[in-house]
Amino acid sequence: MEMKKISFLILFLTTGFVQLVSAVTKGEADEAYRKNDFSGAVAMYEEILNTQGESADIYYNLGNAYYKTKNIAKAIVNYERALLLSPGDSDIRFNLEMARSKTVDQITPTAEVFIVTWYKGLVNTLSEKSWGYTGIFSFIFCLAMLSLYIFGKKLWLRKAGFVIAAVSLAVTICANIFAGQQKSELINRTGAIIMEPTVSVKSTPNENGTDLFVLHEGTKVYINDDSMEGWKEIRLEDGNIGWVKTSAIEII
C-alpha cells in the first residue's frame, strides 16, 4: 500500500515537471511573432490561454497575430476579449477599430443621450480589478479623514477632514458600482462576432424563416435570446434584430 502511494506521488511529480518544462511561454510566442511566424505565434498564444487562463496582454497579442494572418474576425474577437479585461487600454481600442475598418458591414450605432455615453466612458476607464482597488484605497483614506475630523484640534483641519472624507466615501461607492458593472460584463458576455463569410439573418429560428438581412464576418452583434437550441436571437448596434445559427458566431 505504501509503495502504491510512493509510485503515485512520483508519477504526479513527474507529470507536473513534464508539463512545466513543455509549457509554452509568452516570450517564446512573442519571439515567433517577431520572426514573422504568425501562425506559430497564434498556436502558442492559444495554448497559453488554454493552460494559464485569460490575460489582456495575451488576447491583445493573439489579436495582432490573427490580424497579420488576415483573419480579421478572429482578430476582432480577441481584441474585444482583451478590451473586456482592460477597457481603458488605448492600444487595444485603436487596434480593434483598425480591424473593424476592414470589415464589410459598417454599422452605425443608434444615438445615445450624452450622459449615457459619458457614463459608459467613465466606467470603462478602468478594469474591474482597478476599480476594486480604487474603492479599497478610497475607503481607507475616508477612514483616515474621518479620524482627522473627529480628533483634529484645529477647526480648519476638522472641516477639511470632513469634506475629504465625504468625497472619498462618494468615490468608494462609485468605484464599487463600476467594479460590479465590469464584473457583470465579464461574467454575462452577450457580445459576439460573426465568424462566417456571409450569414443570412432570419425572422424566426429555423431555416424556413424569412431572410431579413445579410451580415459578414467580423461584425459585432449582441445576443438577446439564447433559449432556442442551435439558434441565437441577435441585435445589431443600430437596433436591427434577427436570428442566426449558433455556429455562425463566437461569443466574446
Task: Name the pTM for this structure.
Answer: 0.83
Residue 150 included in any domain? yes
DSSP SS3 for 201: strand
Same domain as 218, residue 179: no
Residue 107 included in any domain? no
- Predicted pLDDT of residue 106: 87
- Predicted pLDDT of residue 140: 96
Bridge partners (DSSP) of residue 222 are 191, 235
Mean pLDDT over residues 20-36, rounded?
83
Same domain as 6, residue 96: yes
Domain boundary among 159, 187, 215: 187
Q: How many CA atoms lie within 13 A of 176 on its CB side?
A: 10
Q: Comparing C-alpha atoms, which of 46, 48, 124 is closest to residue 89?
A: 124
Same domain as 236, residue 211: yes
Asked whether the predicted pLDDT for residue 92 surpasses 90, the reply is: yes
Q: Are 61 and 33 in contact (CB under 8 A)?
A: yes
Same domain as 76, residue 133: no
Asked whether the predicted pLDDT for residue 2 surpasses 80, the reply is: no
DSSP SS3 for 213: strand
Residue 106 included in any domain? no
- The enclosing domain of 41 has a CATH number of 1.25.40.10
CA distance 201 to 224: 14
Same domain as 28, residue 95: yes
- Predicted pLDDT of residue 20: 42
DSSP SS3 for 101: coil
Residue 238 included in any domain? yes
Asked whether the predicted pLDDT for residue 110 surpasses 90, the reply is: no
Same domain as 202, residue 140: no
- Predicted pLDDT of residue 24: 83
Say how many domains are in the chain.
3
Asked whether the predicted pLDDT for residue 109 surpasses 90, the reply is: no
pLDDT band at 6 (very low <50, low <70, confident <90, very high): low
- Predicted pLDDT of residue 23: 78
Domain that holds residue 151: 114-187
- Predicted pLDDT of residue 10: 54
CA distance 213 to 94: 29
> 29-40 burial, b for 16+ CB within 10 Å, e for fewer?
bbebbeeebbeb
Same domain as 90, residue 56: yes
Give per-residue pLDDT as tens, 39-61: 999 999 999 999 999 999 999 99
- The enclosing domain of 227 has a CATH number of 2.30.30.40
Mean pLDDT over residues 153-182, rounded?
94
Same domain as 143, residue 54: no
Same domain as 220, residue 162: no
